[in-house]
Amino acid sequence: MQNGKNGQGMRLNLGILPAFFILALFIFAAVFANYLAPFSPTEINLSNARLTPLSVVGGVTYWLGTDQLGRDILSRIIYGARVSLIVATIGVFAAGSIGSILGIIAGYRGGAIDSIISRSVDVMLGFPTILLALVLAIVFRPSLFGVALVVILIYWARYARQARGETLKIRTMDYVTLARTAGCSDLTIMMRHIFPNVVNSLLVLATFNVGTVITLEATLSFLGAGIPPPTPSWGTMCADGRGILVSAWWVSFMPGIAITLVVLSSNLFGDWLRDKLDPQLRDL
Amino acid sequence: MSESEDVLLRVVGLKTYFSLRRGLVKAVDGVNFFLKKGEVLGLIGESACGKSVTGLSILRLIPDPPGRIVGGHIYFEGEDLVSKSEGEMRKLRGSRITMIQQNPDSSLNPVFRIGDQVGEAITAFQKLPKKVLSERVVEMLRLVKIAAPASRARDYPHQMSGGMRQRVAGAIALSCRASLLIADEPTTNLDVTTQGEYIKLLQDIQQDTGIGIIFITHDFGIVSQICDRVAVMYAGKIVETGPTIDVMEKPLHPYTMALLDAVPRPGSRGTLLRSIEGQPPDPVNLPATCSFAVRCSRAAERCTKEVPGETKISDDHYVSCFYAG
Amino acid sequence: MPLKNAPLLEVKNLKRHFPVKKGIFARVSGWVKAVDDVSFAIDKGETFGLVGESGCGKSTTAKMILLIHEKTGGEIWFEGKNIAHYSGNERQAYRESIQPVFQDPTGSLNPRLRVGSIIREPMTVRGIMSPKETDERIAEVLSAVGMRPEHAQRFPHEFSGGQRQRIAIARALSTSPKLIVLDEPISSLDVSIRAQVMNLLLRLQQQLGLTYLLIAHDLAVVLHMSSTVGVMYVGKMVECADSTELYQNTAHPYTKALFAAAFHHLSDMKPGVLINPGEVPSPLHPPPGCRFHPRCPQAMPVCGEIEPVLKEISRGHQVACHLMATA
């Protein structure tokens, strides 16, 4: 039987499984690094420098090879996951919370508060991210704490803007009017009515943000303004291998792959989450 | 299939189903009716009864996925629309069959002047030189009784009131000299004093051009004003059909009776209206029984076991009920 | 000193005008007189119906009574006292005495809250009732509207439109209000459900001695449910009378046109005869003099110059029309 416009057909649900798997692996590696890593990530062993991946030395396999200081790449990647996870978690959670709260307040109250917050958001979003990150990173001295702070300062504005936009829509709903008529305080209304109806879109934003934050941290570390050595960070690892790209490509390549896979997976997860949470697509 | 000369549209056993995650929705489930040339047929029912889906099925505008026409025939001017390709349907839409919808705001593009939008509709149907086109646009606007049409053609939709926008939507729909108009609740969003004028406008146009109209509504008041015949829909099926006067004065199906009773009239103040218990059924996974049985005051054993077929009561008056007539 | 037999609610010369600002310096270029000098009174136990078409100001009037919009002029008196003189606590008590039910049952319920929490909300603001008391009250009002106490655990999307409106009514009943403001309570519902809800509202009124302010554009519904009806047009009250009197002795030409449009299928009244073609004017540019005069088939020269004032033409029946003066 023929019919009107024919569109996409069934959505492919297979693509999300590898993404789930990679993200699960990422978290698992970060949490259980101590048990998973075959070697210490920081132990220098110059006699084993620049081993190619799958080299076997003394009955022990270096699955991803070693860098120019003889450190096992695989172990450094596993420990590096921890760094990425910590920065991503703290950064996204803190930026998300602060940004969302400010956005909701701005959207609900309007007036002067809205003007102040919105202008701040505009300023933050107008700055080139890397430049700002570099400046801030130098001010706060390269450290895990410093990177987390940079992430918060840069990304809160995205959440604020999203939260404000959603709040403006929710604010006109009858159930909000009814709450005001009942005499509820602004705070009660924001917590009971605005936030629960806004949180879904913010969660989706957060999943996409995870990838961005990991990339930002890697970039900062690559530029030397992020996590200082000897803590392994995927960004620093990429930087370490820059000079020997031709002779020992795996030193930069492996952490680069790790970054790519995790960012890609978190983006796919964000797509999936958005589709899942969108009530209009729910019935299909 | 030979068709009598004056039948414009004949729908036979139309079935349009939607595959949703929570189940199969039989939005239109075996619907039969016909429309003669120059006639106005009312399709009346409440929400989710399938009346809008019927209109969209005729135009073959059912989104696929999740919906599709799974059975039946729609004979328009002798040809079965169900078996036509999308390309063939596109030629028919906006030239032989046209539509007005409930919300004029979704029919009109806010960034274009209304004269341009009417002009675009005319051009899609027939290419005209610029000067002739402007004259035709003014003519169409005058047809829908818009005062000072030449200057109003330069207005944007937001500069007009709801009633005028709906008239412009009418001008756009009628610019192609179609033989069939599907009007899906065009007056629901209008003020009550404007509604009367709009219905009168449609009546005048209908008498002048002889266009056939399927008028989808939930309001028997409107049906009595403009419709020659009426078909009452419930849960995807037509439960009663016949000349408006007959159906409204001597309704046979319990649902039709209940629908007519549910409206308050002057003098009924303070009394309780005869209301129907319950609500329209969940359209997902309807059982094979009379769908109205649960709410029907006359329901008997048979009603909960079988689907009633069509019973002919008189020449033109049909009802689907085991206990009518 | 509040009077003993004072009406439950009285609205005096109520106005809501807001300025339209244009240009870079936001100069005031005009005023939208959404509600312009409207007065009426509602007695305890009765239903007052406010009817009119879009832009007439009936919803805005209701929202001023509910304290959603600020009034720009006039007074609101409740139980014989001017509410402008309320203390903070009295104001909150007023909110609990006057509860709303809005048009859209889906938009009225927060999809993320359970039905019980939705109904509980008005009771929690002053914190007077204990959780046990609110739970009992929730079960009570759910039964009163024909639903079951277990429904408190469910979410709004699990219910149909008619049921959601019942939940909205239950919420309005939770604080044992004296007056319920019903703003188009049934126009978003299916025809067969409307009768159910209307019947429910009538039964509740009898059982609980409620007073209603009913706002609707459907004259048939208003006449069916109201004891007194006020007809509004572009911000003004044009006629106000007992509903039977209004039906039998319709006076204002606009009211006649409304009747014709609403009940044409019951009589031979053709809508076109009683009203000139045209649209309802916007409250930003109302016609001079009587706002209805451009559409009035009986308009006289004076109608375009001087605005008519509400005058009593017979007991309890007020009309604002120059035709009455000459009669």
Which residues of chain A neighbour B61 with C-beta distances below 8 Å?
Answer: 4
* Strands annotated E in chain C: 9-22, 27-42, 47-51, 73-78, 81-82, 98-101, 179-183, 211-216, 228-233, 236-242, 311-314, 317-319
How far, in Å, CA of B237 to CA of B99, rounded? 22
Quick check: helix, strand or coil at residue B96? coil
DSSP one-letter code for C250: -
- SS3 string, C93-117, reads HHHHHEEEECCCCCCCCCCCCCHHH
C54 CB near a chain B CB, below 8 Å?
Answer: yes
Pick C192's closest partner by Cβ from B193, B262, B268: B262
C307 C-beta neighbours (distance < 10 Å), count: 16
For residue range A44-102, list pLDDT tens digits in order.
Answer: 888 888 888 888 888 888 888 888 888 888 989 999 898 888 888 889 999 999 999 99
Evaluate whether B258 touches B276 at the Cβ level (below 8 Å).
yes
Quick check: helix, strand or coil at residue B311? strand
Q: Can you state the angle between helices A195-222 and A144-171, rounded to 10 degrees?
A: 150
Q: Which two tokens stand for residue B85?
A: 């390709």
Nearest CA in chain B to C190: B46
Which residues of chain A neighbour C118 with C-beta distances below 8 Å?
Answer: 175
DSSP letters along C43-105, please? -TT-EEEEE--TTSSHHHHHHHHTTSS--SEEEEEETTEEGGG--HHHHHHHHHHEEEE-S-T
Evaluate whether C204 touches C173 at the Cβ level (below 8 Å).
yes
Which of C92, C97, C121 would you mutate first to test chain A, the one with the most A CBs within 10 A? C121
Closest CA to B76 of B10, B173, B27: B10
Q: What is the ipTM of this complex?
A: 0.89
How far, in Å, CA of C322 to CA of C327, rounded? 9
Please judge whether A5 and B82 are an interchain contact, meaning their C-beta atoms are less than 8 angstroms apart: no
Average pLDDT rounded to a whole number, residues C199-223: 93
Q: In degrees rounded to 5, what are phi and psi of residue B73?
A: -135, 150
pLDDT of amino acid A136: 80
Evaluate whether C185 touches B269 at the Cβ level (below 8 Å).
no
DSSP one-letter code for B267: T
Helix (H) / strand (E) element for B32: namely: strand B23-36
A112 C-beta neighbours (distance < 10 Å), count: 8
Enumerate chain A positions whose Cβ falls within 8 A of a Cβ in B: 1-7, 9-10, 282-284
Residue type, B123: T
Which long-range contacts (C-beta less than 8 Å, at least 24 apart) are formed by B107-112? B107/B169, B107/B172, B108/B157, B108/B165, B108/B168, B108/B169, B108/B172, B109/B157, B110/B156, B110/B157, B110/B158, B111/B156, B112/B156
Cis bond upstream, residue A230 (ω within 30): yes
Determine the Cα angle at A104 with ends A101 and A106, to 5°: 105
Cis bond upstream, residue B65 (ω within 30): yes
Burial of A146 (0-12, 13-18, 19+ CB in 10 A): buried
Using pLDDT thresholds of 50, 70 and 90, give the confidence band for residue C199.
very high
Pick B193's closest partner by Cβ from C163, C190, C257: C257
How far, in Å, CA of C327 to CA of C324, rounded? 5
Whole-prediction pTM: 0.85
B34 C-beta neighbours (distance < 10 Å), count: 18
Please judge whether B196 and C192 are an interchain contact, meaning their C-beta atoms are less than 8 angstroms apart: no
A175 CB near a chain C CB, below 8 Å?
Answer: yes
Q: In degrees rounded to 5, what are phi and psi of residue B304?
A: -95, 5
How far, in Å, CA of C124 to CA of A228, rounded? 53
Domains and CATH numbers, chain C: 9-326 (3.40.50.300)
Estimate to the nearest angstrom the gap between the alpha carbon of C63 and the chain centroid: 9
Pick C122's closest partner by Cβ from A173, A175, A182: A182
Quick check: helix, strand or coil at residue C186? coil
C53 CB near a chain B CB, below 8 Å?
Answer: yes
C107 CB near a chain A CB, below 8 Å?
Answer: yes
How far, in Å, CA of C15 to CA of C283, rounded? 13
- Reported residue count of chain B is 325
Pick B63's closest partner by Cβ from A2, A5, A282: A5
Please judge whether A175 and C107 are an interchain contact, meaning their C-beta atoms are less than 8 angstroms apart: yes
How would you write the pLDDT of chain B (325 residues) with one tens digit per residue?
445 678 999 999 999 999 988 888 999 999 999 999 999 999 999 888 899 999 999 999 998 888 999 999 999 998 999 999 999 998 888 889 999 988 877 889 999 999 999 999 888 878 889 899 999 999 899 888 888 888 889 999 988 888 889 999 999 888 888 899 999 999 888 888 888 888 988 999 898 889 999 999 998 888 988 999 999 999 999 999 999 999 999 898 989 988 888 888 777 777 888 877 777 787 787 777 888 888 887 778 888 887 888 788 777 888 888 877 5
Per CATH, is A71-278 categorized as 3.40.605.10?
A: no
Please judge whether C264 and B196 are an interchain contact, meaning their C-beta atoms are less than 8 angstroms apart: yes
Quick check: helix, strand or coil at residue B309? coil
Closest CA to B267 of C243, C252, C218: C243
Strands of the B67-76 sheet, one edge to the other: B23-36, B7-20, B67-76, B79-80
Quick check: helix, strand or coil at residue B98? strand
How far, in Å, CA of A92 to CA of A76, rounded? 24
Using pLDDT thresholds of 50, 70 and 90, give the confidence band for residue C4.
low
Please judge whether A179 and C113 are an interchain contact, meaning their C-beta atoms are less than 8 angstroms apart: no
Quick check: helix, strand or coil at residue B195? helix
Which of B64, B74, B83, B90 would you mutate first to test chain A, the one with the most A CBs within 10 A? B64
A191 CB near a chain C CB, below 8 Å?
Answer: no
A179 CB near a chain C CB, below 8 Å?
Answer: yes
Using pLDDT thresholds of 50, 70 and 90, give the confidence band for residue A2.
very low
pLDDT at A282 over 90: no
Evaluate whether C101 touches C166 at the Cβ level (below 8 Å).
no
Chain B: give the shortest CA distance to residue A192, in Å. 30
Burial of A7 (0-12, 13-18, 19+ CB in 10 A): exposed
Average pLDDT rounded to a whole number, residues C226-234: 94
How far, in Å, CA of A82 to CA of C278, rounded? 72
pLDDT of amino acid B288: 78
Which residues of chain B neighbour C221 with C-beta distances below 8 Å?
Answer: 264
Q: Which two tokens stand for residue B12?
A: 């036979």
Quick check: helix, strand or coil at residue B276? coil
Estimate to the nearest angstrom the gap between the alpha carbon of A181 and the chain centroid: 41
Chain C: give the shortest CA distance to residue A200, in Å. 11
Using pLDDT thresholds of 50, 70 and 90, give the confidence band for residue C151.
very high
pLDDT at C59 over 90: yes
Spell out a b/e string for B277-290, using b for 16 or more CB atoms within 10 Å of the CB, else e: eebbbebeebeebb
- SS3 string, chain A, reads CCCCCECCCCCCCCCHHHHHHHHHHHHHHHHCHHHHCCCCCCCCCHHHCCCCCCEEECCEEECCCECCCCCEHHHHHHHHHHHHHHHHHHHHHHHHHHHHHHHHHHHHHCHHHHHHHHHHHHHHHHCCHHHHHHHHHHHCCCCHHHHHHHHHHHHHHHHHHHHHHHHHHHHCCHHHHHHHHHCCCHHHHHHHHHHHHHHHHHHHHHHHHHHHHHHHHHHHHHCCCCCCCCCCCHHHHHHHCHHHCCCCCHHHHHHHHHHHHHHHHHHHHHHHHHHHHCHHHCCC
Pick B47's closest partner by Cβ from C190, C223, C247: C190
C203 CB near a chain B CB, below 8 Å?
Answer: yes
Using pLDDT thresholds of 50, 70 and 90, give the confidence band for residue C211.
very high
Handedness of CA A243, A245, A251, A255 (dihedral sign): positive
pLDDT at A157 over 90: yes
Please judge whether B162 and C247 are an interchain contact, meaning their C-beta atoms are less than 8 angstroms apart: no
User: Parallel, antiparallel, or unpaired for β B180-184 and C73-78?
Assistant: unpaired
Quick check: helix, strand or coil at residue C145? coil
Please judge whether B65 and A2 are an interchain contact, meaning their C-beta atoms are less than 8 angstroms apart: no
pLDDT of amino acid A10: 38
Quick check: helix, strand or coil at residue B216? strand
Looking at domain B7-96+179-265+275-319, its CATH architecture is 3-Layer(aba) Sandwich (3.40)
How far, in Å, CA of B276 to CA of B257, rounded? 10
Using pLDDT thresholds of 50, 70 and 90, give the confidence band for residue A158.
very high
Domain boundaries, chain A: 71-278
User: Parallel, antiparallel, or unpaired for β B229-234 and B40-44?
Assistant: parallel
List all chains that touch chain B, counting a touch as 3 or more CB pairs closer than 8 Å. A, C
List all chains that touch chain C, counting a touch as 3 or more CB pairs closer than 8 Å. A, B
Q: Which two tokens stand for residue A143?
A: 């450290």
Please judge whether C68 and A177 are an interchain contact, meaning their C-beta atoms are less than 8 angstroms apart: yes
Please judge whether A3 and B62 are an interchain contact, meaning their C-beta atoms are less than 8 angstroms apart: yes
Pick B21's closest partner by Cβ from A2, A6, A284: A284
User: In chain B, which residues fall in CATH 3.40.50.300?
Assistant: 7-96+179-265+275-319
Evaluate whether A193 touches A179 at the Cβ level (below 8 Å).
yes
Nearest CA in chain A to C177: A182
For residue range C264-277, list pLDDT tens digits in order.
Answer: 655 555 555 567 76
Q: Name, in order, each residue with C-beta under 8 angstroms of C49's C-beta and a sequence gap of 6 or more.
A: C214, C215, C216, C222, C223, C225, C226, C228, C229, C230, C243
Closest CA to B244 of B263, B264, B219, B262: B219
Residue type, A281: L
Which of C56, C189, C190, C218 would you mutate first to test chain B, the one with the most B CBs within 10 A? C190
Estimate to the nearest angstrom the gap between the alpha carbon of C70 and the chain centroid: 16
Q: Can you state the angle between helices C161-173 and C191-208, rounded to 10 degrees?
A: 20
Please judge whether B275 and C195 are an interchain contact, meaning their C-beta atoms are less than 8 angstroms apart: yes
